[in-house]
Amino acid sequence: MFDFLTADVLTALAQVIMIDLVLAGDNAIVIGLAAAGLPKEQRAKAILLGIIAATVLRIIFAGITTQLLAIVGLLLAGGILLLWVCWKMWHELRAGHGHEHMDAEEALANADLNKDGQIAGGAPRKTFAQAAWQIVVADITMSLDNVLAVAGAAREHPWVLVFGLALSIALMGIAASFIARLLQKHRWIAYVGLAVILYVSIEMIYRGGLEVLPYIIRT
C-alpha cells in the first residue's frame, strides 16, 4: 500500500513542506505590509485579496512551470532564478525588518501585538488601490518563486507537486499570521528553509547543466 513512499519521495516531500512553510510566511509578511497602511476597515479586504490572488497565481504557475521545466535549458534557468531568490531571502534575513515586521503581523492578526495602543500604527498610509497593486505585484513574484521551488524539489513525483501546491494555498489561507510570527520568533526555521531552497536551486542548475551540455558540445 505504501510502496510509493520511497526514500526519494519522502525526501522530496520533506523539502516541499519546508519550502512551503518558509515561503508562505514570507508571502504573508509581504501581504501584511501592504495591508498595514490601510484604514482598519479595509485591511481584511486587502488581505483576502492577497490570499485569493496568491491562490490563483499558484494554480496557473503550477500548470505552466511543470510543462516549461521539461524544455531543455529552462531547468537551468529556473535554478538560476531560484538561486537569486535565495540571495534575496538571505539578504532579508540578515537585514531584518524590525517595526515593519511588527506592522505586518499586527495587520494580519488584526491585533495590537506590541501593546502600543494602535494596530500597525507605524506603517505609511496608502489607498486601497495602492495596497492592492502592491499585493498583486508581490504575489506574482512570490507565487512563481514558490511553485518553482516546489517543482524543483518534487522532481519526477507529480503527486508531491500537487500536495505542495495544496499545502502552500492552505498555509496562506489558514495559518498565514501564525507562520509569520513563528518565523519571526524562531529565525532558525527560516534559515533551514533557505538551506533547502539553496540545495534545490543548486540541484536544478546541476541537472539543467547536464541537459544543456550535449547541445553546447555539439555546437
pLDDT digits over 156-173, tens only? 777 888 888 888 877 776
pLDDT at 34: 76
- Could you tell me how far CA 101 lies from the centroid of its own chain? 16
The pLDDT-based confidence of 209 (bands split at 50, 70, 90) is: confident
pLDDT at 55: 81
**Residue 20 domain-assigned?**
yes
Average pLDDT over residues 103-122: 66
Q: What is the pTM of this model?
A: 0.69
pLDDT at 122: 64
**Alpha-carbon Rg of the chain, whole angstroms?**
18
Q: How large a percentage of the chain has pLDDT more than 70? A: 75
The C-alpha atoms of residue 184 and residue 43 are separated, in whole angstroms, by 21
Number of domains in the chain: 1
**Residue 214 domain-assigned?**
yes
**Residue 2 domain-assigned?**
no
Residues 6+ apart with CB under 8 A from 176: 24, 25, 27, 28, 31, 32, 47, 51, 108
**Residue 1 domain-assigned?**
no
**Residue 119 domain-assigned?**
yes
Residue 25 has pLDDT above 80, yes or no: no
Full residue range of the structural domain in which residue 212 is found: 7-218
**Residue 42 domain-assigned?**
yes
Q: What is the DSSP string of 14-45?
A: HHHHHHHHHHHHHHHHHHHHHHHTS-HHHHHH
Question: Which residue did the predictor score with more confidence, 174 or 55?
Answer: 55
**Residue 98, SS3?**
coil
The C-alpha atoms of residue 21 and residue 212 are separated, in whole angstroms, by 32
CB 58 within 8 Å of CB 146: yes
The string of pLDDT tens digits covering residues 179-189 is: 666 666 677 77
Q: Running DSSP on this structure, what letter comes out for residue 5?
A: -
**Residue 155 domain-assigned?**
yes
Strand segments, DSSP code E, in 67-153 are none
Q: Please give the grid coordinates belonging to residue 73.
A: 535549458
CA dihedral 117, 123, 126, 132 (to 10 degrees): -110
**Residue 90 domain-assigned?**
yes
> Of 12, 62, 24, whose CA–CA distance to 142 is shortest?
24
Average pLDDT over residues 76-102: 73
> Of 134, 133, 132, 144, whose CA–CA distance to 59 is shortest?
144
pLDDT at 61: 83
